Amino acid sequence: MLYTRKGDDGTSSLYKSKDRITKNHPVFEALGGLDELNSLLGVCFAKYQCEKPVLFNVCKIIRTIQHNLFIIQAGLAGAEKSIPKSRIEEMEYIIGEIESYIEKPNSFVIAGATELSALFDYARALSRRTERSVISANSRLDKQLSPETLSYLNRLSSLLYALARYEAFLSHKKEEVPVY
C-alpha cells in the first residue's frame, strides 16, 4: 500500500521512534530538501546522455551522489549511517580533475549555457539550501550527524558547480558572466 493514513494529523515519526512529531519540524524540512535534491539529480541523470564519450563518468558520479543522499537521510532520521571520509576524498579528486580540464571562470557565471548545465546549477543552489536546512535540523537532534557527513554536504555544491561548468565545456558553450 502506498499510503498509511498515519500522517493525516500532520505528524510523522523518525526511524525506530514511536514518538510522533509535527511534519513542519526542521528535521522533516531537511529530509524533504534532501529528497528534492535527490529527485533533481534524477532529472540530471535522465537528461544526461550516458553513452556519449566523456572524460568523466558523469552518470556514475550522479548515481553515487544519489546513493549518498539516501545515507544522509537515513542518518538524519536516526539510523546508524554516515558518509565515510573516503567519499569526501573521492569528491575532491573529481572536482580537481574537472578543474584541470575546464577553463575556470574568473567570476560568477549566469546559469543556462545548456539545459543540463542549468539543471546542475539549480542542483548546486538547492544543495546549499538543503545543507543549511540539515545543519539547522542537526542542531536540534539528540543524535548528531557525523562531521564527515556535514563535510560531504558542504563539498557537494562545489562538485555540482564543477559538473555544471563541465557540461557547458563539453557542449562548447561559452558561459556568460554577469554585467555589473
pLDDT score of 43: 97
Low-confidence ranges of the chain (pLDDT < 70): 52-53
The answer to whether position 154 is within a domain reads yes
Phi, psi for 21 (deg, rounded to 5) = -125, 155
The answer for residues whose C-beta is within 8 angstroms of residue 124's C-beta and 6 or more apart is: 157, 160, 161, 164
Supply the CATH number for residue 109's domain.
Answer: 1.20.1200.10
Tell me the C-alpha to C-alpha distance, in Å, between residue 145 and each of 77, 141, 153. 10, 9, 11
DSSP 175: P
Residue (of 137, 130, 117) closest to 35 by Cα position: 130
Beta strand ranges found along the chain (DSSP E)? 11-12, 21-22
pLDDT score of 135: 96
The answer to whether position 180 is within a domain reads no
The string of pLDDT tens digits covering residues 9-23 is: 787 777 877 788 878
The answer to whether position 150 is within a domain reads yes
pLDDT score of 100: 93
Q: How many domains does the chain have?
A: 1
pLDDT score of 2: 83
Give the pTM: 0.92
The string of pLDDT tens digits covering residues 25-48 is: 899 999 999 999 999 999 999 998
The answer to whether position 3 is within a domain reads no
The answer to whether position 40 is within a domain reads yes
pLDDT score of 53: 65
pLDDT score of 51: 74
pLDDT score of 10: 82
Q: Write out the residue range of the structural domain in which residue 143 sits.
A: 21-170
